[in-house]
Chains A and B, each alone.
Chain A
Amino acid sequence: MSFHPNDIRRRGIAANVIISGVLLLLGGGFFRTQVLQHAKYQLQSETNRLRELPLPAPRGVIYDRNGKVIADNVIGYSVSVLAQKEDTLRAVLQRLTGTINITAPQIEQAVRRFRRAPTRPTVIIPDASFDVVSVLEEHRMQFPGLIIQSSPRRFYPDGPVVAPFVGYTSEITDNELANPAYHEYKAGQQIGKQGLEKAYESVLRGKEGSQFVEVDARGRVVTSQGGARPDLVPVAAPPLYTNIDLDLQRYVAGIFGDSLQGGAVALDPKTGAVLALYSAPTPDFNRFIGGVPTAYYDSLRTDPRRPLYNKALQGQYPPGSTWKLATTVVGLETGAVTMADRMPIPCTGGMQYGNRYFRCWDKRGHGNVTLAGAIAKSCDVYFYQLGLKLGLARLIAGGVSLGMDSKAGIDLPEEKRPRFPESTEYFNRKYGRNWSQSIVLSMAIGQGDNSQTILNMAKFYTALATDGQAAKPEVARVKPEREQIVKLTAQQLDQVRGALVGVVEGGTASASAIKGVQLAGKTGTAQTGTLDPNGKELNHAWFVGFAPANDPKIVVAVMIEFGGHGTRAAAIASKIIAAYLKVTPIVDLTTDG
């Protein structure tokens, strides 16, 4: 087709007329809005009357594996003020002090909130008591712009018992607001700060709703229907189901009580499900909701037992003899040793290496033992020689492949990486080139440059309890992930488990046997270098074990800070296992192992 110039000119004129006409109409619309109706819109913009009141959504309820509630929502009240300017806000707050008790720091905090989000109602008391609310309701007419809302408030029925894994929520901070990961958040909103609350924040937060209210020139709420749109109903978050066994968790917390400090982790060896995770002592995060009182926080911060420090996830402790199983696995994997092998030097309470005498923990000596016997008696002299036979490079590489230098990968943000040399290069850096082979002696018995978390040791033992696959610990119910870290035959693993049974039956933890269930595990007494007032060295007491030995259903790692000998930890672990398997331990906890 070819266009005739006359036709095209005609259409061009038509097009120009239409285009110009439409733009003229639009321009007319703008003229009407901007020039003729300017005064009306000017007023509306100055006293932008529509206020959006956020309606917080209830956070997702967290359940344990049996449907028991770990984290819930209860009704709370928040008091806020709608203000146009900072001066107005200050004036309202000043007058409020005459009716209810508001401190100067609370006023300053409210002003800071206002500066962050001037268009949202400024929260004055995030968590007001019913008394305060009823007093304010009485005097409501005196305080224009005052808004009292009922808002869901987080509540942990078991308080400190669940604190080590559930964490808490609190108002989002300026730093978090600046973080691109939280770009959807607005100042004043609640956000998970620790534990499950932080890890599953995106799931648990729900969707905030809003209510539109119209306010008069003094900021007094006129109607709640003035908005151009109906209210947006907040959407509650779905529940979060976890692997935690709340009864077991309560039991563990009960054992630790007020006197013991340390941590415990219980895992399902086949799935990595975290059955219980506890750190003692622990804060009550219920008191953190709605802003932690300064006095309470200071008392936690200055407490020498460090309650704010999660001992199961963040505590890095020398693993002591519980680590001898790692040395054993490396020895078996490399073929350097079998379970029946003996070492050239029998244990006489110690051995000479170079110019230093290395003691066994039992100065009476263990005599000439096999590897199985050495595990049962926790014979240091045997493991010194096994370490020397393996050499430091193989021992370190073996430890690395057993995951000793990496996080266990639990779905809690607090977990710390264990400290373990990545290779012998570490010692070159630390000591220069001429370090002594004697390092391998310490490393072989779980001392030296090796600090593990309780969680990571528990994870390692899930591999020993099963077919050599370590299960990634998961608190929330997700797909189990397992990785083959121990590369031994089924027969070798059976032998290792047999030796661990030997620890409990006639070995170092013989006081911790359980009636009717075969318990397997390893004690550890880790040197800390800290002395008690009498000049005696204080040791961390470890026990990592599982039961029933032939088909393990639970792996428990217990560490008692400055708890003395590992047998104390073994007694606690044994009770935890018995509670889980619903059998009775033979020996009561009060018996000193």
Chain B
Amino acid sequence: MATRRFPIDWPLVTVALLLSMYGIAIVYSAGQTDIHTAVERLWKSQVVWFCLSLAGAYLVTRCSVRLLDWLTWPAYGLSVAMLVLLLFVGKGAGTAASTKSWLAIGGFRIGQPSELAKITVVLALAKVLSAFKEPPKSLLELWKPALVVGIPWLLIMKQPDLGTGIVFVGFAFAMLFWSGVSWPLLVLVASPVVSLILSFSVPLWGAWFLLLIALVLWYKPYLYEGIFLTVTNVVFGVVAPIIWERLAPYQQKRLLVFINPAVDPRQAGYHVIQSQIAIGSGGLLGKGFTQGTQKRLAFLPAQHTDFIFAVVGEELGFVGVLLAFTLFLLLFLRVTKIAERANDSFSSLVAFGLLASWFVHVLVNVGMTLNLMPITGIPLPFFSYGGSFMLASWLAVGILIRIAAEGRGGRTGPFAV
């Protein structure tokens, strides 16, 4: 197997390489501040990680999808075990000093296991979903996928790492959709979360609740499912806000910090305003590479990690933003194609799950810099500084290359083009 040549999906690889190089350039620029900090030298280690990641991706392309399929459960078990271990020995870092998302040996932080869990859980969920004969039609049928995602999700929320938790929810929904779960059922599954989000406004929530009742009546789930859904929506939409209101401000704050300690809630507003100013002042063409004043004067927080896209906006302007969006769009469209042409449902679900995971990262991270999304401390793929995330992104690229090569799009497939 190791000697057999197989076609490489060059469009995918090219886009991923361009994104990585764009990202490293921005990490370099992020370090160029008027007051010199340790961030100044981080681009070098990012380059090292990039090279390691390429090697890792190459190794993954040598593994057939069948081998991945076979490795899924051990890898999943290992990920869960590491996440459990983290609850005891996990370390915080940087802006999220109080969380436990880092694995460290002898004080040296070696990585964030949750980054690798993002891949292994996609694999496991793909395996569970591909085992269904028919797309799941009721909530009850979804217990297995829910369990597979739920266990690592709970462990990650316990760290706590809201951002990664959102990614899990995102790709889980996407994969349910890809496996053929019908729209109404998807909406029903998502309804409690929507209720929670809409709970701040009684009319909005009321409208949503009526819509939901209509959907339940039309979709006709089992009776207990219907009751369950109604009750959870009421709890999330009505009871939760009441309890929240009753809490003293310091308790609310504590709860917020518990959900997301990465950002001090009192500082959050300040960060977003500075990020918006940075992006807005960039204008059409930007202030020039490494020339962003917001960044140089250290107004911009976490400029090499969470808010790296604000550096793009400030220094390269709307043009730079569009370039990044175009590259991401090309990447996503290419991966959808790979998922469509995959040989079997497992490969297809893996491809789509990895795509969804990237997409949620981009959406939440970029949205956050413009104050369109809550601040969750989620990195931007190929851009944000961070070794394990770069590695995880490229391992995903490796898996996709392999899936593409074995699928119908590849020259070896039956429908070679």
The answer to whether A119 and B273 touch across the interface, beta carbons within 8 angstroms, is no
Stretch from B78-86, B240-248, B335-343 at the A interface: B335-343
**Smallest CB separation, B261 vs chain A (Å):** 16
Stretch from A24-32, A392-400, A465-473 at the B interface: A24-32
Stretch from A136-144, A222-230, A260-268, A299-307 at the B interface: A222-230
A42 at the interface (CB under 8 A from B): yes
One of A12, A22, A31, A229 near B267 (C-beta < 8 A): A229
Q: Which residues of A contact B325 (CB under 8 A)?
A: 23, 26-27
Given contacts A15-B352, A119-B297, 5 further A-B contacts (CB under 8 A): A1-B129, A30-B313, A33-B313, A38-B284, A41-B279
The answer to whether B294 and A45 touch across the interface, beta carbons within 8 angstroms, is yes
B61 at the interface (CB under 8 A from A): no
Q: Chain B CB within 10 Å — which of A1, A12, A46, A228 has the most?
A: A1
B16 at the interface (CB under 8 A from A): no
B283 at the interface (CB under 8 A from A): yes
The answer to whether B270 and A34 touch across the interface, beta carbons within 8 angstroms, is no
One of A22, A34, A232 near B280 (C-beta < 8 A): A34
Query: What string of 1s and 0s marks CB contacts (under 8 Å) between B288-305 and chain A?
Result: 000001100111000000
| A-binding residues in B (CB < 8 A) | 34-35, 37-38, 129-135, 174, 177-180, 266-270, 272-274, 276-284, 293-294, 297-299, 313, 317-318, 321-322, 325, 328-329, 332-333, 336-337, 339-340, 344-345, 348, 352, 355, 359, 363, 366-367, 370, 372
A183 at the interface (CB under 8 A from B): yes
Stretch from A2-10, A247-255, A358-366, A574-582 at the B interface: A2-10
| B-binding residues in A (CB < 8 A) | 1-3, 7-9, 11-12, 14-16, 19-20, 22-23, 26-27, 29-31, 33-35, 37-38, 40-42, 44-46, 48, 50, 116-119, 180, 183, 187, 212, 227-230, 232
A23 and B372 contact, Cβ closer than 8 Å, known pairs A2-B345, A45-B278, A229-B269: no
One of A8, A31, A40, A46 near B348 (C-beta < 8 A): A8
One of B34, B266, B284, B372 near A229 (C-beta < 8 A): B266
Q: Chain B CB within 10 Å — which of A3, A15, A34, A35 has the most?
A: A34
Task: Report the bound CA distance from A496 to B283 in whole Å.
Answer: 85
One of A2, A8, A26, A37 near B366 (C-beta < 8 A): A26
The answer to whether B298 and A119 touch across the interface, beta carbons within 8 angstroms, is yes
Q: Which residues of A contact B344 (CB under 8 A)?
A: 2
9 contacts across the A-B interface (CB closer than 8 A): A1-B131, A1-B179, A23-B328, A30-B321, A33-B313, A35-B283, A45-B278, A119-B298, A227-B270
One of A16, A118, A187 near B333 (C-beta < 8 A): A16
Task: Report the bound CA distance from A35 to B317 in whole Å.
Answer: 9
Task: Report the bound CA distance from A34 to B268 in whole Å.
Answer: 21
One of A9, A183, A232 near B340 (C-beta < 8 A): A9
Closest to A41 in B: B280
The answer to whether A228 and B280 touch across the interface, beta carbons within 8 angstroms, is no
Q: Which residues of A contact B372 (CB under 8 A)?
A: 26, 29
A38 and B348 contact, Cβ closer than 8 Å, known pairs A8-B340, A23-B325, A45-B277: no
The answer to whether A44 and B266 touch across the interface, beta carbons within 8 angstroms, is no
**Smallest CB separation, A430 vs chain B (Å):** 40
Task: Report the bound CA distance from A41 to B317 in whole Å.
Answer: 13
The answer to whether B363 and A22 touch across the interface, beta carbons within 8 angstroms, is yes
Task: Report the bound CA distance from A1 to B342 in whole Å.
Answer: 13
Q: Which residues of B contact A230 (CB under 8 A)?
A: 266
The answer to whether B297 and A118 touch across the interface, beta carbons within 8 angstroms, is yes
A228 and B283 contact, Cβ closer than 8 Å, known pairs A45-B293, A119-B297, A180-B38: no
A38 and B281 contact, Cβ closer than 8 Å, known pairs A3-B345, A26-B367, A119-B298: yes
The answer to whether B281 and A19 touch across the interface, beta carbons within 8 angstroms, is no
One of B268, B277, B313, B345 near A1 (C-beta < 8 A): B345
Closest to A233 in B: B266
The answer to whether B345 and A41 touch across the interface, beta carbons within 8 angstroms, is no
Closest to B278 in A: A45
